Structure 1
């Protein structure tokens, strides 16, 4: 059965408008993160700047707080901080993205502008079809109303180097040509398949631009290939069998003539549980900005009972520091949310000390520890603490093992676990921790973004207190700044 796309999108928007008032009162709603108006959210899609505004699309099932036939939700912003929800951009409607079973829809993809029109590239998916996944286009003259291309699917079959798992097109322009990477798998290796076009409609397969080295998963989702200063990088979200794993960033060189990306080194993008399918754009200021799904498959999600699930990370700028180390930093625009500033300095911690001025739910906390003059082997913070301390999220600095540890064992109703990231001792003897807390999330940036740990947490709304602690010795805090962060949602 074929449906009219606009009818399906209108149906979804009517339902959203009817339900969103109920969701607004959920105690789990976030203050300054992108989240769906109702229903389910996963991968960011079509992250783009168009006509001076940032657009973010996302995998969306509006009718329930669970994964279902995928639509593209849509929001826009002038500053990547204050978002406006827009009507659903894509809904399953055509033979290549709809079926009688629930496993169908408009899967993940990207966006690009051409001749003042906004093109959405997405994977049409129907488990009942052969091939199961094909690459498709929808176009818009205003960035809001989209029409699916009559020539869809523009890539109607996976190449010999891939398989039926053939999805998540990322499209960009280089040297007057358009290029696309698509995630796939074959022979136990994840692969990024490479295409070229002069007009965005007719695509020529160029080959496997990169593949797993045997330790990077047997399926690559959401590949994103782009230049970053003096080198190229490939971001991908690997799978191992049916298990999704932490996204990685691979550094190397890209040769468009041979259609090959050479791998030189790779690292995890985020050491937490709740970070997947990141996508980047380069904006009019020349910044490479990334946003990711702040959740993970098969997680505990207490907000499900309130009719919604999923959120996005704060936007991060990707760059290198003065030592040439790759870093991720929260975008500068987030500073506009700050108010209620408190500052402390030159504090020595021995045991556990409560700091009421550092408490809160929607909070940014920036702390410099003096590593050289601290003799405690383990020190750090307790965040989102209940008054009796039975509930808390723990950040530990383990100086013996040079690890940052986020312990969610007592963090609340969400996933329980312990997440670790390495840190490099600074030559100046300082360790910087920058924490963004929201109602149900924590994003920790270590040493100005050299490592990041992101997790969803679901503590009680009354758990807002903060402790500093040091075990078996003393720890010195050079300075700490805390700001409350205002809500961007009315």
Structure 2
């Protein structure tokens, strides 16, 4: 057994060393890319997608992620790794997982260490992931790797720990999310059957031996035919299930369901289902509970099958800012940017109450990398449509528009003229609260995240405007716009 384990570890370490060498050779090439973000997490080089293994270990936040260091396009998946003391400043670490075994590697293009999660078990940091090989049957199995120092991981000699999909699922059987309830470990895995996405449930006492409990939840027929990256967790007095659904081969907007979890029966009962983020560039989020008791979520700030201008510069993909999830009224999960982001603020500006007719250019609010809070006075506004234009060119041809439509009760982000990236119009429900609407906007070099009314709705999109497009306009159509206040800060870089 020892010789077998030594052989596994040797092959794995060789694959990791090769990946680390590639990163070292290429990381300086992407540093000067004009599309690099300033306070969002990115890999040193190459391609990233889903966040994995979001956890706190020995006082530090750990972020793992789907990673292909050899190119700026998707390839055989590795697990990248970084850590942080504050969820804001990140330190890149050695690649944690690389394809090396028969259950996660092969001679075909489609293989790798697919998405999963991480837990702390005593002194060990344990990664639980899907081993994927296109031409194998079964195609996807669940595996583990463990570390006692939080950096170097050894694959379990008896992998896979779940070697086949259950009767309620199919060969699409991936993205295990593990958590502890009372004294037992629980795992949900995304799957599908009979045209319905499913989150199938397992239970274990030791993370190595798993008992199948059944399908904890499944699509009601409108929620996708494959559920990727399920995350089931307690929030307040209830439980929340987050799912990134597929419809055929197409990914759609991630949603959350509020409901009740019966651990004895292994069944999650759905109550309220809502879109989690209304933007194009949000997928496969993962959550953790930190030592402050907060439920923190980070998502992949990109989307499959889209134009990614950064690929020409040797990299692709980033993560959203960390968001705290708060259950309000048992019907809404609010997303609140973590308080630690305020450490990045400087150059505070504030405009007191003012009115706008037609278009006003706000010269004091033109930082590309910034946080802006705008409170609109709806009671005193006569315009039925109004909003702001970000990253505008001098001639007005390039812009990203955020429109509030009171007639149709929608907030719209229009990136049809946002630069060289993907186009599209995002829409979210608009609710007036006590006569006002509040927007909190986090803008980075190539991204915009809009939090509406304290995070009741969120829109996340990547934009790729010209570096000289810096104007910030406020506009009103066919009437007057009343603004209670506007605050802004420049946000500093977290990358040296």
TM range (shorter): over 0.9
Separation of aligned partners in 2, 1:255 and 1:321 = 21
1:170 aligns with 2:170: no
Deviation at 1:36, TM superposition (A): 1.0
Separation of aligned partners in 2, 1:323 and 1:79 = 29
Separation of aligned partners in 2, 1:4 and 1:324 = 49
Pair 1:323–1:57, CA change in 2 (3 A): closer
Separation of aligned partners in 1, 2:161 and 2:332 = 39
Q: Which of 106, 110, 126 is the aligned partner of 2:133?
A: 126
Q: Which residue of 1 aligns with 2:467?
A: 461
Deviation at 1:230, TM superposition (A): 1.1
Alignment of 1:223-372 (within 5 A): 223-321=230-328, 325-372=332-379
Deviation at 1:320, TM superposition (A): 3.0
Which aligned segments of 4 or more residues in structure 1 are displaced greater than 4 angstroms? 321-324
Q: Which of 108, 120, 132 is the aligned partner of 1:101?
A: 108
Separation of aligned partners in 1, 2:41 and 2:330 = 32
Instruction: Report the aligned-residue RMSD.
Output: 1.1
Pair 1:214–1:62, CA change in 2 (3 A): same
Alignment of 1:366-381 (within 5 A): 366-381=373-388
Separation of aligned partners in 2, 1:391 and 1:437 = 16
Pair 1:436–1:159, CA change in 2 (3 A): same
Separation of aligned partners in 2, 1:241 and 1:156 = 25
Q: Which of 76, 82, 88 is the aligned partner of 1:81?
A: 88
Separation of aligned partners in 1, 2:282 and 2:454 = 19
Separation of aligned partners in 2, 1:447 and 1:139 = 42
Separation of aligned partners in 1, 2:329 and 2:89 = 31
Deviation at 1:346, TM superposition (A): 1.1
Helix, strand or coil for the counterpart of 2:353?
Answer: strand
Query: Is the contact made by 2:332 and 2:456 (CA closer than 8 Å) also made in structure 1?
Result: yes
Separation of aligned partners in 1, 2:303 and 2:224 = 17
Q: What CA deviation, in whole Å up to 9, does each residue of 1:152-194 have, x standing for no partner?
A: 0000011111100000000011110000000000000000010
Q: Which residue of 2 aligns with 1:424?
A: 431
Q: What CA deviation, in whole Å up to 9, does each residue of 1:297-318 have, x standing for no partner?
A: 0111000000000000000000
Separation of aligned partners in 2, 1:437 and 1:322 = 30
Alignment of 1:180-219 (within 5 A): 180-219=187-226
Q: What CA deviation, in whole Å up to 9, does each residue of 1:397-418 have, x standing for no partner?
A: 1011111000001001111111
Q: What CA deviation, in whole Å up to 9, does each residue of 1:335-366 have, x standing for no partner?
A: 11000111001110001110011111111000
Pair 1:446–1:155, CA change in 2 (3 A): same
Q: Which residue of 2 aligns with 1:488?
A: 494
Pair 1:189–1:325, CA change in 2 (3 A): closer
Alignment: residue pair count: 489
Helix, strand or coil for the counterpart of 2:96?
Answer: strand
> Tell me, which stretches of 5 or more residues in structure 2 are unaligned?
1-6
Q: Which residue of 2 aligns with 1:436?
A: 442
Helix, strand or coil for the counterpart of 1:356?
Answer: coil
Q: Which residue of 2 aligns with 1:150?
A: 157
Q: TM-score, normalised by structure 1?
A: 0.99
Helix, strand or coil for the counterpart of 1:107?
Answer: strand
Deviation at 1:325, TM superposition (A): 3.7
Separation of aligned partners in 2, 1:330 and 1:360 = 19
Separation of aligned partners in 1, 2:194 and 2:162 = 22
